Structure 1
Amino acid sequence: MRFYVSGGPENTQRVAEINEALAHNGHIITAPSVMAGTGYDALLEAAYKKVFSVTDADFVLLLLPGSYETHVELGLALASRNNKRIVLWSETGNEYADGAAACAFYHHTAVERRSGSFEELLEMLLTL
């Protein structure tokens, strides 16, 4: 399975752990979700790589809370969802609450919303 994992800055270590665990189980990382370098050229290259990486993945996992980039990645995953599994994960589930601050795309029928401990998430991922 080809996979893409991303999350906000506070989840950088968790993203790395998931990438390592899935790759160890024989899955293919479409691209690391971290950007190398700074400046216009680095941003341009990162943008192209991230678009390709998200659209090329069979499985997209986004760890919440995310950043504005996480929401763009969710949009890309939804727009290219042919046979793609899209999972959002939150430790608390607070991000899924209804109300003025709710993100409508978290509630799209193509999106699986999960919450729980990081250990539970890893256990679920190891069954893929």
Structure 2
Amino acid sequence: MEKFYIASSFRNIDAVRYVTSKLVGSGYIHTYDWTTSEKVKDSLTLEDLKTIGENEKKAVMESDFIVVLLPGGKGTHIELGIAIGQGKRIFLYSPDRDIDNVETTSTFYHLPEVKKCYGTLDDLLKEISG
């Protein structure tokens, strides 16, 4: 079965966990669960951040596709960049159409390898399972 990684921010942790559980329940393999770092995020050291970064980079590299749940922060966009550079399939999720606003969007959201998804998380999951 295919391997996946989810890039997002801590503010979307419930959505990340929901999508992860649904994909794993459908037989997909999750390459890394960064949400387990949540409980210590306020007391992380630079060494902790290095380890997490290494784990996240490896997870993106090992995945067949990544899911990007917006809004995201710096890390989310770095992971998106790694995935683009590695030629991964990318599902970019926005609950609204903000990513199509020319004044605030990123050029990288509109590359051909990026599949833009809107609506509910269940709509996203249908798009992934195709």
For the criterion TM > 0.5, the same-fold answer is yes
Tell me how far apart the structure 1 counterparts of residues 125 and 111 of structure 2 sit (CA, whole Å).
24
Amino acid at match of 1:107: H
Asked if the contact 1:7/1:62 (under 8 Å) is kept, the reply is yes
Cα distance, 1:6 vs. partner? Answer: 2.1
1:111 aligns with 2:114: yes
1:94 aligns with 2:98: yes
TM-score normalized by the length of structure 1: 0.88
Cα distance, 1:116 vs. partner? Answer: 0.9
Match of 2:12 in 1: 11
Cα distance, 1:11 vs. partner? Answer: 1.3
Cα distance, 1:14 vs. partner? Answer: 0.8
TM-score normalized by the length of structure 2: 0.87
Tell me how far apart the structure 1 counterparts of residues 7 and 13 of structure 2 sit (CA, whole Å).
8
Amino acid at match of 1:78: I
SS of 1:10 mapped into structure 2: helix
Tell me how far apart the structure 1 counterparts of residues 102 and 7 of structure 2 sit (CA, whole Å).
23
Tell me how far apart the structure 2 counterparts of residues 24 and 34 of structure 1 sit (CA, whole Å).
18
Q: Which runs of 5+ in 2 are unaligned?
A: none
Amino acid at match of 2:98: N
Cα distance, 1:122 vs. partner? Answer: 3.0
1:122 aligns with 2:125: yes
Tell me how far apart the structure 2 counterparts of residues 95 and 10 of structure 1 sit (CA, whole Å).
18
SS of 1:54 mapped into structure 2: helix
Asked if the contact 1:35/1:46 (under 8 Å) is kept, the reply is no
1:27 aligns with 2:57: no
Amino acid at match of 1:102: T
Higher helix share: 2
Identical-pair percentage: 27
SS of 2:35 mapped into structure 1: coil
Cα distance, 1:7 vs. partner? Answer: 1.4
Number of residue pairs matched by the alignment: 124
Deviations 1:33-62 (A, max 9, x none): 336241022101001111110111101000
Asked if the contact 1:65/1:95 (under 8 Å) is kept, the reply is no
Tell me how far apart the structure 2 counterparts of residues 114 and 120 of structure 1 sit (CA, whole Å).
8
